Amino acid sequence: MFRKLLYLVFLCLAGLIAGSSPAWGQKPLPADFKKFTTPLLGENVLVFDPSMDNMEIQSVLDTIFKRQTVRGSEFSRNRYALLFKPGRYRLDIRVEYYMQVLGLGRSPEDVIIEGAVRSNTTHGNSVLTNFWRAVENLTIVPSPDSTVVWGVSQAAPMRRVWVRGNLQLFDKGYASGGYLADSRIDGVITSGPQQQWFTRNSSMKSWVGGNWNMFFLGVNGAPAEDWPAKPYTTIGETPVIREKPYLTFEENDFSVRIPAMKHNSAGAGWGNEKSVKLIVNSKEFHVARPGADNAASINSALAKGKNILFAPGIYPLDESLKISRKGTLVMGLGLATLVPVTGKPAIEIADVEGVTVCGFLIDAGEKKSDALLIAGSGVTAKTHGQNPLFLYDMFFRVGGPHIGTAKSCLVINSNNVCVDHVWLWRADHGNGVGWEKNWCANGLVVNGSDVTIYALFNEHFHEYQTLWNGENGRVYFYQSEMPYDPPSVEAWKHGNTYGYASYKVSDNVKNHDAWGIGIYNVFYDAPVVVDQAIETPPWIEDRIRNKIIFWLNGNKESYVKSIINGKGGRIDVNNRKATMK
């Protein structure tokens, strides 16, 4: 996402104020907020009941919102989950950094918010940095003649939501990417200046607008595809998905429900879904708390066969979290954040089936990790097609909140892995940012076969943003920016090739498919030359469908020669956009 220079200066100053050294604790909430908490989930989870006074709930929500809008809040240490028990509320819920708003019903229809649940412009003149927030599992009934405004960019999912009205995916100025799934929008969705957007398994009255790359997968009411005359990629059914697990409050217990697998599906699934219920108690779960739990206590619980529910907060890890039991669920609330501090991965998942990991930020530590999350101990012929590993809403950062470095963010070695919404980000602003500071070669490396990714956001890494070595991979929607800061043509050249392609499928791969591939460029410093945005074996070229590259800004002597393998139009300051089927 391209940011205006003035806003970059503001963010840098904010970063200086925040400081460059990691600090893991968060600011305590006022003492009188304790009545909204529960001992089970800790002080950073606030639970609201429809019997409570709505004005008092509104005051609590406004206090948290204001706390998360202060200078430096983009890299705040505060994390909050705001939970609503089934019932009807009349509220204006403004959602800011590190706020997750969750309904606790079996269905989104069980929690009704009359008024607004919204994300607006609060920093600068756009929503280009409206990251790290979420809304899930509730119904929004907007006030008469009003529209639900969800002005966001990356890492801001809206899931299992019923909007009984219109939905607007922007506020002031530009917006740069977002995610909507398993939802029903009764009215019109307007994208306005949104540059790219991914929608899956939902329904809408209609869609208005579109700039670069708008993707619809299993969406009832989606616009017809007419690429590249219109920036729409429309596919009628989602081949395989299991919707993200969700927290409920049933029969006076907190539970997690895991929906069943779906094949060739369209529309939201919560009207008639089947699910497995896991009660959040000492038999089924270990509830991890920031400051109280560490890698040893969490690994001990995993070894005992427990699922893990992370309360909001930041968790420095001196050892990797080891997930080795079939069917384990590891779930974060309130953008729970894992930080490996000794150079080991934050999470290592053994090559077992049915594991689910969802709802985390993973920040690289100052000591270099080979990877931040590894799925599978090595390349194997073992398959898990009947019960895949699922990753949902996983967001990775190298630099930004503090100094960090890694070789790669996400490495997938297992077969039959399904990833549903991931943002891999080498920071272009904040703390510890610079070509030689927050070093990371690749955002994503896939070595396993039959890996499927929905909504892949991947930006600013030193080499290939995406490196795909496994067979039968499928990617539905890709949003990527090449790094902003190569210091010279020679510094970003390897062998006789100028620059690194953003999307690289290795030369020995026989089968690979991708749809809706958007790659963008901002080279701020020295002139940069890139041979191609996408690099694949020649027999795969035609299976990379609906491609766009865009020259956004930066050094006016920089250019990208081709879209894929020397084919497709060059982009530069005079010819800023190129597309191919």
Q: Tokens for 220, please give them.
A: 């009832």
Q: Which of 43, 96, 243, 481 is labelled catalytic?
A: 481
- Cα 575 to chain centroid, rounded: 31
CA atoms 407, 18, 124, 395: torsion sign? positive
CA distances from 416 to 412, 472, 496, 499, 540 (A): 10, 10, 35, 31, 20
At residue 185, the 3 state secondary structure works out as strand
CB 223 within 8 A of CB 207: yes
Number of helices (H), then strands (E), belonging to the chain: the values are 3, 43
Count of Cβ atoms closer than 10 Å to residue 305 Cβ: 11
- Which residue bears the tokens 């949104």? 194
Rounded CA gap, 523 and 348, in Å? 35
DSSP state of 116: E
- 18, 125, 127: which is closest to 75 by C-alpha? 18
481 belongs to the catalytic site? yes
CA 300 vs CA 67, 176, 297: distances in Å? 35, 41, 5
Q: Residues in the chain, how many?
A: 581
From the list 532, 581, 533, 521, the residue with the least C-alpha distance to 557 is 521
First to last CA, the chain: 23
CB atoms within 10 A of CB 208: 12
383 CB burial (10 A radius; 0-12, 13-18, 19+): middle
User: E strands within 119-195?
Assistant: 133-142, 148-149, 158-163, 167-168, 179-181, 184-190
The DSSP string of 317-364 is ESS-EEE-STT-EEEEEEEEEEEESSSS-SEEE-S-SS-EEEEEEEE-
Q: Identify the CA nearest to 48 among candidates 57, 58, 59, 61.
A: 57
CB 163 within 8 A of CB 185: yes
Q: Are 515 and 542 in contact (CB under 8 A)?
A: no
Concatenating the DSSP letter of every residue in 537-555 gives: -GGGGGGEEEEEEEEEEE-
What is the three-class DSSP state of 418?
strand
Q: Of all helices (H) and strands (E), which one includes residue 478? A: strand 473-481
For residues 480, 481, 487 and 492, what is the CA-based torsion angle, rounded to 10 degrees?
30
Any idea what DSSP says for residue 417? E
Question: Could you give the residue numbers annotated as active site?
Answer: 481
